[in-house]
Amino acid sequence: MPASRHTNDTIHGDPLASHSSLNVDELSGDDGLFSDDALTVMQPALSAAATRLTLPKTPAAEKAAALDKRVLTPRSSLSGKARSLRRTASDDSLLYHSLSRVSSLGDDDQFDNVREMTNVRMKAIRDSLPDRPTFKLPSLPKFPPQLKMFQGPDEQSIPPIPEAPATGPEAEAATLDRVLATLTGDLVVLGGYRGSILRSAEAPHQQLWAPVKIGFNMRKADLEVGLEPEDELTMEERIIPSGMLQNIGPIDISRKFFKKLRSCANARNGTLRIWDYGYDWRLSPHLLSRKMASFLETLPSNQEGYRGPKGALVVAHSLGGVITRHLVNQRPELFSGVVYVGTPQRCINVLGPVRNGDAVLLNEKILTAQVNLSLRTTFAFLPEDGFCFVDKKTNEEYPINFYDVNDWIKCRLSPCIETALPSLTPKPQSGLGSYLRNRSSSIKRQSLTNLPGRDSARRDGVLNPQLDGNRSGSPPKTRPSPFTSGEPQSQSLPPPPATRARSIAYLKRILPEIKQFRRELAFDPEHARKNEYPPIAIMYGKSTPTVFAARVDGREGIARTDAYDDLVFRPGDGVVLAREAQVPEGYELVKGGRICTERGHLTMLGDMPAIGKALEAVVRGRRKGIGLGRASAPRAGQA
């Protein structure tokens, strides 16, 4: 990969220009020289040679190097004029995230040799297990008197090793308890892509997403959204959202988190109101943003005359964070703070389900390629620069305009428009497993009646309702790609002309709308100038190989069935890259609001110590005046 891509991991501005520990302007006198006290304070700094070796050659770095030379000037050459050391902002008094010269996003090269997708579902199950077992193992009996018979007369007994103080999850979880003990007002939690429960609008309101019965074909559900605008507007007549999806079998998404919130004293006495916000994650992001605004407007903290803290504190996971970020730009006064949990700026994993479809356990029909194309939010993750594919041999980038329907046709990104071309190097199949798969595929091809590819893919059970969409199209004992899922689409029939025409017309309408939505996610300097942005914190992961790009055989390889077989990985949470989980350029994080977690994408809200730190940072920033308007605008040196 070209080394120039994604090299800047700072939050805002140059690290040296805004680093709190190098406030040289306030240490220097009127003539630019330093007092004796200042020299003493700055003695532990890096030497000039070390600075040249460790810092980039930027204007700010050159300025720092020049200042470093002044610091090393002999004291005898300095003016004898008396000077005093000015008071500077301490690290504890800072309001926004203090930048570091060391990247905290992980080493981009550490996963260069990875060729298989991490099993994020198994990681989610491991993350959901208790930190300590609930049962006790039998202890061995102690025989201190008998032990003496094995010691010599001059042998000294070894003193016992003192136990270290507890620093485990229980001790760290005290941060969340401390925050909840003082937190009042409205706290809203919402999930991500496929992260809200969907029910039938008709009584008895059966659950359509994602019960086990549907996964085992014991209940039918149609999640496809009509391609016309009115199909979205009338959706609540058929399907309604019903809160966040808190767990899938043994996988805990947010169940423990909600239990923790609702069991705190302030929630029990009513001063802290917990809101489980569900939304229909299939609809247009603009529509979802408006619906969320309507919901927040009804909360007590956003009513006129409310005497408590104004605005809602929102914890948003994945796609929920994207919708929240858009609404923050439209109506910042509705928020008292936001914690973005695994919220991506981009995520190319959605391209796999659009071409190959998804499966839920044994159900291969609930999330076909046609259904995934009809989900408006699918397109909200696609990058404007078109980066996704690189050449296998030269690493040349092959950008795609994901917001131009002509590129969708040319690259055959969806079988609703054009089926993918066969691979130039088909994988040999042999053995009983291959026979059974071919037999199953043959039966499915005979039953094709609607869109090609609806039943042509062989997939395994999908437990994770997120962006990764792992499949089982890989050989045994290998972890599957998040894109590939089954039989080559070239063996499917081409789409019917009417279906193709409707799909093209749909993309021509929806792609410009999504592109405009993504533009509206950008930082607004006017909001920042007026101190209207609420305090912001993020949670992200960097310990799991995460899809960064796909290697193809030339630009023509993008249109083939094996386009997603050879993947490039970078640090992330298994779904969202660490770099893409940061806030967009211009936004500033509240001090202490950048939290790295070892949890995978699906189970991040189960990391109680991390969520406690994020909430604590946001609450502290709000109390210091962030987001309360210019009248309450905090100063950089405020204590």
> 557-610 pLDDT, tens per residue?
999 999 999 999 999 999 999 999 999 999 999 999 999 999 999 999 999 999
Q: CA 374, CA 379: separation in Å to the nearest integer? A: 10
> 440-455 pLDDT, tens per residue?
444 444 443 344 333 3
Return the structure tokens found at 361: 């356990």
| pTM score above 0.75 | no
b/e code 442-475 from CB counts within 10 Å (16+ = b): eebeeeeeebbbbbbbbbbebbbbbbbbbbbbbe
Q: Any idea where the domains of the chain sit in the sequence?
A: 15-88, 90-127+169-423+455-639
> In this predicted structure, which of 45-49, 96-100, 124-128, 310-314 has the lowest mean pLDDT?
45-49
Please choose, from the candidates 614, 606, 608, the residue with its C-alpha nearest in 3D space to the C-alpha of residue 255: 606
> 145-163 pLDDT, tens per residue?
444 444 444 544 444 444 4
To which H or E segment does residue 499 belong? helix 497-519
- The pLDDT mean for the chain works out to 76
* Confidence bin at 166 (pLDDT 50/70/90): very low
**Contact (CB, 8 A) for 572 and 543:** no
pLDDT score of 212: 75
Q: CA 115, CA 566: separation in Å to the nearest integer? A: 7
**What is the mean pLDDT of the segment spanning 339-358?**
95
* Confidence bin at 101 (pLDDT 50/70/90): very low
pLDDT score of 544: 94
Own/partner pairs, 124-132, CB within 8 angstroms, 24+ separation: 124/251, 124/463, 124/464, 124/600, 124/602, 124/603, 125/250, 125/251, 127/252, 127/599, 127/600, 127/602, 127/603, 127/606, 128/247, 128/250, 128/251, 128/252, 128/603, 128/606, 131/168, 131/169, 131/170, 132/168
* Confidence bin at 363 (pLDDT 50/70/90): confident
H-helix segments, 416-480 = 431-446
* Confidence bin at 115 (pLDDT 50/70/90): low
pLDDT score of 114: 62
Helix axes 608-623, 255-263, angle to 10 degrees: 50
pLDDT score of 123: 54
